Structure 1
Amino acid sequence: MVTVQDQLGFDMPLPRKLIKVTPSRLGTWQDCRRRFRMAYVDRPTPPRGGPWAHSTMGAVVHNALKALFDLPVERRTPDAAAALVGTHWKDDGFADQAQSGVFRERAAGWVRDYVADSDVTTDPVGLERWVSAPVGTIVAEGRVDRIDQRGDEVVIIDYKTGRHALTTDDARGSQALALYVLAARRTLRRPCTKVELHHLPTGTVAAWEHTDASLGRHLTRAEESADEFQLAIDTHKAGGDPDALFPTTPGRQCGWCDFRRSCPDGQAAGPALDPWAMLAP
Structure 2
Amino acid sequence: MSMQLGLEGMPARLVRVTPSRLATWEDCRRRYRLTYLDRPALPRGGPRAASTLGAVVHNALQAVYGAPPVRRSPARAAVEVDRHWSSEGFRDDAQAATHRERARTWVADYVERHAVAGAPEPMGETVGLERWLSAPVGAMVAEGRADRLDERDGDVVVVDYKTGRRAPDADDARRSTALALYALAARRTLRRPCHRVELHHLPSGTVAGVDHDEESLAAHRDRAEAGAVALGAAADALDEDPRLSESLFPPAPGPRCGSCDVRRHCPEGRAAAPAEPAWAGLAP
Report the TM range for the smaller structure's normalisation. over 0.9
Residue number in structure 1 paired with 2:3? none
Q: How much is the aligned-residue C-alpha RMSD, in angstroms?
A: 1.2
CA distance in 2, matches of 1:119, 1:236: 49
SS in 2 for 1:275: coil
Which of 170, 177, 198 in structure 1 is aligned with 2:179?
Answer: 177
Please show how residues 1-281 of structure 1 align to structure 2 within 5 Å.
Answer: 12-120=8-116, 123-239=125-241, 240-281=243-284
Which AA in structure 2 matches 1:37?
R
Query: Does the Cα contact within 8 Å between 2:258 and 2:273 map onto a contact in 1?
Result: yes
Query: Does the Cα contact within 8 Å between 1:69 and 1:120 map onto a contact in 2?
Result: no
CA distance in 1, matches of 2:116, 2:158: 16
CA distance in 2, matches of 1:211, 1:37: 34
Which AA in structure 2 matches 1:189?
R
SS in 1 for 2:114: coil
What is the CA distance between 1:256 and its match in structure 2? 0.6
Residue number in structure 1 paired with 2:4? none
Structure label with greater radius of gyration? 1
Task: List alignment gaps of at least 5 residues for structure 2.
Answer: 1-6, 118-123
Give the percent of matched residue pairs that are identical in Structure 1 and Structure 2. Answer: 57
CA distance in 2, matches of 1:60, 1:69: 14
CA distance in 1, matches of 2:197, 2:275: 35
CA distance in 1, matches of 2:69, 2:164: 28
Give the stretch that moved more between structures: 269-278 or 112-121.
112-121
1:80-137 deviation line (CA, Å, top 9, x unaligned): 1011101100010001111100000001111111111113456510000000100111
Query: Does the Cα contact within 8 Å between 1:69 and 1:123 map onto a contact in 2?
Result: no
Which AA in structure 2 matches 1:113?
D
Which AA in structure 1 matches 2:183?
V
SS in 2 for 1:112: helix
CA distance in 1, matches of 2:206, 2:8: 54
Which AA in structure 2 matches 1:234?
D
CA distance in 1, matches of 2:235, 2:135: 22
Which AA in structure 2 matches 1:170?
D
CA distance in 1, matches of 2:65, 2:148: 11
Query: Does the Cα contact within 8 Å between 1:141 and 1:180 map onto a contact in 2?
Result: yes
What is the CA distance between 1:23 and its match in structure 2? 0.2
CA distance in 1, matches of 2:51, 2:255: 18
CA distance in 2, matches of 1:148, 1:18: 29
Query: Does the Cα contact within 8 Å between 2:156 and 2:194 map onto a contact in 1?
Result: yes
1:164-183 deviation line (CA, Å, top 9, x unaligned): 01110000000000000000
What is the CA distance between 1:141 and its match in structure 2? 0.6
Task: List alignment gaps of at least 5 residues for structure 1.
Answer: 1-10
